Amino acid sequence: MKRRFANIYLIIVFAILYAPIIFLIAYSFSQGDTMTNFHGFTWRHYQTLFSDTRMLAIVANTLLIALLSALIATLIGTLGALSITRTTKRVTRESLLTLNNVLMVSPDVIIGASFLIFFTMLKIPLGFSTVLMSHIAFEIPIVVLMVLPRLREMSASLLDAAQDLGATTRQLLTHVIIPFISPGIFAGFFMALTYSLDDFAVTFFVTGNGFSTLSVEIYSRARQGINLEINALSGVMFLFSLLLVGGYYWIQQASQKRRQRKREVVS
């Protein structure tokens, strides 16, 4: 009985979470031009989407910014987390962490405006590079926060054991620490990726000179009412993220099986 109640609860929660997305995608097939009534099936909105080269260029830009900034932010953030845990003086460590957290909680608008002032003061023309830099900057604290708990979980005796067995510092990092914290690194990377994909406030301030991202474009279409081309785009993006999650799952399954087989061979 209890089990069944739990299942029903789960189904309701997921239905509520996914309903708006499904609703949105369903309307991308509607023959009408708005989301008030469904008017029969058509691929028309997908056709307009794929012939809209400006929109496709913006999609490519957005994905490029997201992947590249998440990658760089993950590298820097992981190194940052490593050095924060290595700091032995408590005061320094705590203040480093606090500085990191202040960036996490300060509003995007403030960060965006300050970046705009900063870049224009340095006379850096707004565009791809400024968007990339600011995205990296606001993603680093997220990565640090995702990696830190894994580092804290790691027991010191693990490192001692490795060193006793003759591991050099380099081997310690590549063979012990990084494999151990890699779930945190992955989580950080994906969080950074999603933050970058849907950031509007910061991006708006630092775009310019013909460079734009999806969130900025969609927001500025709102004055006219968003047309169903955006729905079609959402459909494509949703499919894309499904594939991404599926791919990640498949890789994990495969590597787990490989590891299991190895273990069997050893034993």
Instruction: Report the C-alpha dihedral over residues 131, 134, 140, 143, rounded to 10 degrees.
Output: -40
Rounded CA-CA distance 267/264 in Å is 5
DSSP-derived letter for residue 124 is P
Cα 114 to the center of its chain, rounded Å:
23
CB neighbours of residue 194 within 10 Å = 13
Considering only 39, 152, 175, 257, the residue that binds other proteins (CB under 8 A) is 175
Stretch that binds other proteins, among 4-12, 18-26, 84-92, 172-180 (CB under 8 A): 172-180
195 counts as binding other proteins under rule CB under 8 A? no
By CB under 8 A, the residues from 204 to 223 that bind other proteins are 204-205, 207-210, 212, 216-223
Nearest Cα neighbor of 87 from 100, 75, 74 is 100
Residue closer to other proteins by CB (options 43, 248) is 248
DSSP-derived letter for residue 211 is B
Considering only 116, 147, 202, 214, the residue that binds other proteins (CB under 8 A) is 116
Rounded CA-CA distance 134/114 in Å is 10
DSSP-derived letter for residue 208 is B
157 in Cβ contact with 97 (< 8 Å): no
Residue closer to other proteins by CB (options 100, 211) is 211
Residue closer to other proteins by CB (options 139, 217) is 217
Residue 89 in tokens: 């003086």
Considering only 14, 15, 92, 125, the residue that binds other proteins (CB under 8 A) is 125
Stretch that binds other proteins, among 3-11, 14-22, 117-125, 147-155 (CB under 8 A): 117-125
90 counts as binding other proteins under rule CB under 8 A? no
- Region label for 212, one of left (φ > 0), alpha (ψ between -120 and 50) or beta (otherwise): beta
256 counts as binding other proteins under rule CB under 8 A? no
126 counts as binding other proteins under rule CB under 8 A? yes
Q: Bridge-partner residues for 30, per DSSP? A: 41
53 counts as binding other proteins under rule CB under 8 A? yes
Residues contributing to the site for other proteins (CB under 8 A): 33-34, 36, 52-54, 56-57, 60-61, 63-64, 67-68, 71, 116-117, 119-120, 123-126, 130, 174-175, 178-179, 182, 185, 204-205, 207-210, 212, 216-225, 227, 255
